[in-house]
Structure 1
Amino acid sequence: MAEIKVPELAESITEGTIAQWLKQPGDTVEKGEFIVELETDKVNVEVISEEAGVVQELLFAEGDTVEVGQVIAVVGEGSGATKNPVEADPAESDAPVKNVEVAPATTAPVEKEESSSTDRTIASPAARKLAREKGIDLQAVSTVDPMGRVRVQDVSAHTAAPKQAPAAAPVAKTTSAPQEDDGRTTREKMSRRRQTIASRLLEVRQSTAMLTTFNEIDMTNVMALRTRKKDKFFDDSGVRLGFMSFFTKAVVAALKKYPYVNSQLDGDYIVKNNFYDIGIAVSTEGGLVVPIVRDADRKNFAEIEGNIGELAKKARDNKLSLSDMSGGSFTITNGGVFGSLMSTPILNGTQVGILGMHTIQKRPIAVGNEIEIRPMMYVALSYDHRVIDGKDSVGFLKTVKELLENPEDLLLNS
C-alpha cells in the first residue's frame, strides 16, 4: 500500500487544486506514471506514483484544494484496468479487464458523477480545465482534430457559438447563477491562478508605496535599424528580430546605472541584485504569467529573442515549469500588443520596478524648429518609492529612452 502525497512545489507555493485525475479507482498504475494533475498559483504540475499497483482510493475530487504533504490517493497491490478511458489505446479496447475489489472511498461517487460525461472524451488538460471553469460538457464540444481530441480552441469556439434555444434548461447546468438571474448574467468561478493574481496585485497596491513615472520614446531609429537588419538577423540566428530584445538590453544597461531599481526589500534591508534576470510578462488564457530570461546581461540579441520565443510558446501551451518563473529582478510588460496607449503597470511580487511598453503611434513631434510625424511610444516605470527616489526613477527611464532612440549605443552597453 502506497500513499500519493502532494509533493514540494516551490518555496512560495504551499497548496494546489486538483485539476484532473488521470487515474480512477481500479486503474492500474505503473511506477513513475502520472496519476493526477495539480493546478498551482503559477503552473500545472503532474504528480507521479512512486509505486506500481492499483488505484484503491481517491481522497479528493477535482476542484478540491490540497496542501503540500497531504495524502490525496492510495495505491495498493494487484492489477486492474490497464488504462484510463481517456488514455485507452484503440488496439487494446477489447482486451479483458480483471475484476478488482476496490476499497470504498467517500469521494468516489462524486468523482464518477462529475467525470462520467467527460472521461470518455479525449481532451488536453488545458481544454478540460477551461471546460470545467465554464461548465461545459466536453461531449458537446465539436473538434476538427482528426483523432477527435478536444483542444482549448475547440472549447473557446464552443463558448462563443450562439445558443440554439434561449429557453433551454442547460443554462442552469453551465453556470452557477441563481435561478432569479433569469439568464441575464453568468457566474463563473475564478480559477485558482486568477484568484492568486487578484490577491497578489491587491497586496502589492496595499503594501508598497507605488508610483509611476512616464516618458515617450521616438521609435524612428530602432524601427529603421530593425527593418535594415531583420532579414540577415533571421538568416544568421533562425529567430526573428523584435523590439523586446532592444528593450531588454536597454533595461539591463539602465539597471547597471541605477542599481536600486534592480533590488528588493527584505525587512529593514535593501537587497541589491548583482544579476539581471528579466521577467517578460506573457498573456495566456489562464491569466498573466512572467517567465524569466536568465542573465540577460550575458546574452546577445539573438539569444534573448530565442529565449523569449521559447518561453512565450511554453506559456501558451501551459508547459511552463516553476523554475521558468522563479526569481526575477525586474519585469517588462508590453500592453502595446493589445493596443494600449498608456497604462500604469503594477509591481511584480517583491520587485521594486516594472517597465510598461505601449503601442507605437504616429504623432506630430517638434524636431528642432520643424514639426514631423514620428512613431512614438509611451513608456511607464512603476516603482516602490520606499526604495527608489524620483531622481533614480526619472534617470532610469531617461536612460532607456536615450538608448532606444540611439540603438547603436546598445552595442556599447551589451
Structure 2
Amino acid sequence: MADIKVPELAESITEGTIAEWLKNVGDQVTKGEDVVELETDKVNVQISAEDEGVLQEIKRQEGDTVEVGEIIAVLGSGSGAAANTDNDSAATEQGSQKQDDSGSAADESPQPAASESNDDSGRTVASPAARKMAREQGIDLSAVQSKDPLGRVRPEDVKAHSEQPKQSSSQTASGSQSQKQPAEQSDSKPVERVKMSRRRQTIANRLVAAQHNAAMLTTFNEVDMTNIMELRKRRKDTFLEKHDVKLGFMSFFTKAVVGALKAFPNLNAEIQGDELLLKKYYDIGIAVSAKEGLVVPVVRDADKRDFAGIEKEIGDLGTKARDNKLTLKELQGGSFTITNGGVFGSLWSTPILNAPQVGILGMHTIKTRPVAIDNERMENRPMMYIALSYDHRIVDGSEAVSFLAKVKELVEDPETLLLEG
C-alpha cells in the first residue's frame, strides 16, 4: 500500500483543485507515471506516482480543493490489467444475466444498474475525457445517460446529454434548484451557470486587490512607429535567416523598457512594509492570453539578452502558455510587466498593475493617422498609443511621465536601440 499525496508546489501555493484524474480505480500505475492533474492559482501540474501498483482508491474527486500533503489516492499491490479483466467479466456476466431474465432484444440500449454505473464510493464511472467535458460544460455526470453496457459514461454520452432540451425545474437535481436565483425562477429567458475555474477566480481576486492596495494612476503617450517598421522591413529576412526567429515589436519595447527602468529605478521596485525594495535586475513579465485567462511569464535578465534571445524566449513562453505547460518558476517574480492589447485591436486602455510590481506598460494597436510634422506639413504616420499604470505611493507623476517619454524616445530611435541594446 502506498499513498499518493499532493506534493510541495511552491512557497506561495498551499492548495489546488483536482482538474482531472488521468487514471481510474483498478488501473496499473508505474513509478513516475502521471496520475492526476492539479489546477493551482498559476498553472496546472501533473502529480506522478512515487511507487508502482494498482490504483486502489481515489479519495478526492475532480473539482475538490486539496491541500499540500493531503492524501488523495491509494496504490495497492497486484495487476491492474487482471483486476480490470475480472471486473469487466463480472460486469458482463451480470449484464448478460439481466438481459436473459428480462428478455430484452439484443439491439435495445441496456440501462446500467447502480453497481455498474457507480464505483464503491457512489461516484459515477466515467472516462477522464468525459469528466473533463462535463466539468467544462457544468454537467452533473450522475444525470448523464450512458449507452455503454457497463454503465461507463463516455464523451459522446456527455455530448448527447448537453444537446437535450433543458429540463423543467421539477426535473432538475436538488443541487441545481438550490443555486437558482429568483430572477431565473420568474423569467423564462435562457441562462447558463458556469463555475469559474480556480485560475479565473485568482485572477479576479488579484486584479481587485491591486486596485484596492495601490494608489494606481495611468499616464499616456503615443509612439510614431515609422522608423521601427522600416527597420523591421529592411532587416526581417536576414534576422530570420540568422536567428531562426522573426523580429517583432516586443523585443524593441522590452529593450526600451529596460533602458527606461535604468533611468527611473523607482519603476523597478516594490513596497515591503515601510521599506522600498529597489531591484537591480530586469526580469520583464510579458502578459499572454491563455485559455484559462491572462498569465504573465517572465523573461529573465532581459538586459543581458540580445533581440533574438528576447524574441525566442517570448515565443517559447507564449507557446507554453497556450499549451498550458508553463512551470511555476516561469511565472514567479518579475520586476515590471508589458501587456499588448494591440494584438486584439485595442486602441486605448488603462492596464492594471501586476502586484507587487509598481509599473506596467500597455501597448496598443497601430493606426495610420495624420500627424503634424511642423507648422506647414502633415503626414500620415503609423501611430501607437502607449499607457503606463503606476503606483503613485512611490512613483511621482513627473517620474511616470518622464519614464513613458523615455520609452517613446527609445522606440522611435530603433537603430540605436538595436545597435547599443
Q: Render the CA deviation track for 1:80-119: whole Å, top value 9, x for unaligned.
A: 2379xxxxxxxxxxx955899xxxxxx9556741x52x44
Cα distance in 2, alignment partners of residues 305 and 233 from structure 1: 11
2:80 aligned counterpart, secondary structure: coil
The answer for the alignment partner of 1:393 in structure 2 is 400
The answer for the alignment partner of 2:34 in structure 1 is 34
1:81 aligned counterpart, secondary structure: helix
Unpaired segments ≥5 residues, structure 2: 90-117, 146-153
Cα distance in 2, alignment partners of residues 27 and 202 from structure 1: 43
1:340 aligned counterpart, secondary structure: coil
Unpaired segments ≥5 residues, structure 1: 84-94, 101-106, 141-148
Task: Tell me if structure 1 keeps the 8 A contact 2:138–2:195.
Answer: no
2:366 is aligned with what amino acid?
A: I
The answer for the alignment partner of 1:318 in structure 2 is 324
1:9 aligned counterpart, secondary structure: coil
Output the TM-score relative to the length of structure 1: 0.82
2:191 is aligned with what amino acid?
A: T
Cα distance in 1, alignment partners of residues 119 and 347 from structure 2: 52
Q: Render the CA deviation track for 1:363-399: whole Å, top value 9, x for unaligned.
A: 1111112121111111010111111111221111000
Task: Tell me if structure 2 keeps the 8 A contact 1:62–1:111.
Answer: no
2:3 is aligned with what amino acid?
A: E
Cα distance in 1, alignment partners of residues 12 and 195 from structure 2: 24
Q: Render the CA deviation track for 1:236-258: whole Å, top value 9, x for unaligned.
A: 11111110011001001111111
Deviation at 1:137, TM superposition (A): 9.5
Task: Tell me if structure 2 keeps the 8 A contact 1:330–1:354.
Answer: yes
Cα distance in 2, alignment partners of residues 213 and 326 from structure 1: 27
Task: Tell me if structure 2 keeps the 8 A contact 1:28–1:82.
Answer: no
Q: Does 1:201 align with 2:207?
A: yes
1:393 is aligned with what amino acid?
A: A
2:71 is aligned with what amino acid?
A: V
Deviation at 1:13, TM superposition (A): 1.0
Q: From the superposition, tell whether residues 25 and 366 of structure 1 become closer, same or farther in structure 2 (CA, over 3 Å).
A: same
Q: From the superposition, tell whether residues 391 and 412 of structure 1 become closer, same or farther in structure 2 (CA, over 3 Å).
A: farther
The answer for the alignment partner of 1:351 in structure 2 is 357
Cα distance in 1, alignment partners of residues 361 and 119 from structure 2: 49
What pairs up with 1:194-343 in 2 under 5 angstroms?
A: 194-343=200-349
What pairs up with 1:120-199 in 2 under 5 angstroms?
A: 129=132, 132-135=135-138, 167-169=165-167, 178=180, 180=185, 182=188, 184-199=190-205
Cα distance in 2, alignment partners of residues 274 and 293 from structure 1: 15
Cα distance in 2, alignment partners of residues 305 and 250 from structure 1: 14
Cα distance in 1, alignment partners of residues 257 and 408 from structure 2: 10
What pairs up with 1:58-137 in 2 under 5 angstroms?
A: 58-81=58-81, 96=85, 109=120, 112-113=123-124, 115-116=125-126, 118-119=127-128, 129=132, 132-135=135-138
Q: From the superposition, tell whether residues 381 and 192 of structure 1 become closer, same or farther in structure 2 (CA, over 3 Å).
A: same
Q: From the superposition, tell whether residues 108 and 253 of structure 1 become closer, same or farther in structure 2 (CA, over 3 Å).
A: farther
1:22 is aligned with what amino acid?
A: L
Cα distance in 2, alignment partners of residues 98 and 108 from structure 1: 11
Task: Tell me if structure 1 keeps the 8 A contact 2:31–2:49.
Answer: yes
Deviation at 1:129, TM superposition (A): 4.5
Q: Render the CA deviation track for 1:49-78: whole Å, top value 9, x for unaligned.
A: 111112222111100001111111111222
The answer for the alignment partner of 1:19 in structure 2 is 19
Q: Render the CA deviation track for 1:129-148: whole Å, top value 9, x for unaligned.
A: 565222369999xxxxxxxx
Q: Render the CA deviation track for 1:203-234: whole Å, top value 9, x for unaligned.
A: 11101111111111011111111111111111
Cα distance in 2, alignment partners of residues 82 and 385 from structure 1: 66
Cα distance in 1, alignment partners of residues 297 and 133 from structure 2: 22
Q: From the superposition, tell whether residues 130 and 276 of structure 1 become closer, same or farther in structure 2 (CA, over 3 Å).
A: farther
Q: Render the CA deviation track for 1:324-365: whole Å, top value 9, x for unaligned.
A: 111111100000111111111011121111000011111111
Q: From the superposition, tell whether residues 347 and 25 of structure 1 become closer, same or farther in structure 2 (CA, over 3 Å).
A: same
Deviation at 1:186, TM superposition (A): 1.1
Task: Tell me if structure 2 keeps the 8 A contact 1:79–1:98.
Answer: no
Identity %: 59
2:235 aligned counterpart, secondary structure: helix
Deviation at 1:409, TM superposition (A): 2.1
Task: Tell me if structure 1 keeps the 8 A contact 2:251–2:307.
Answer: yes
Larger Rg: 2
1:17 is aligned with what amino acid?
A: T
Output the TM-score relative to the length of structure 2: 0.81
Task: Tell me if structure 2 keeps the 8 A contact 1:6–1:47.
Answer: yes
Task: Tell me if structure 2 keeps the 8 A contact 1:58–1:108.
Answer: no
Cα distance in 2, alignment partners of residues 236 and 82 from structure 1: 56
1:375 aligned counterpart, secondary structure: strand
Cα distance in 2, alignment partners of residues 375 and 236 from structure 1: 28
Q: Does 1:382 align with 2:379?
A: no
Structure that is richer in helix per residue? 2
2:380 is aligned with what amino acid?
A: I
Q: Between Structure 1 and Structure 2, how many residues are aligned?
A: 371
Q: Render the CA deviation track for 1:244-300: whole Å, top value 9, x for unaligned.
A: 011001001111111111111111111111111111000011100011111111111
2:259 aligned counterpart, secondary structure: helix
Q: From the superposition, tell whether residues 264 and 111 of structure 1 become closer, same or farther in structure 2 (CA, over 3 Å).
A: farther
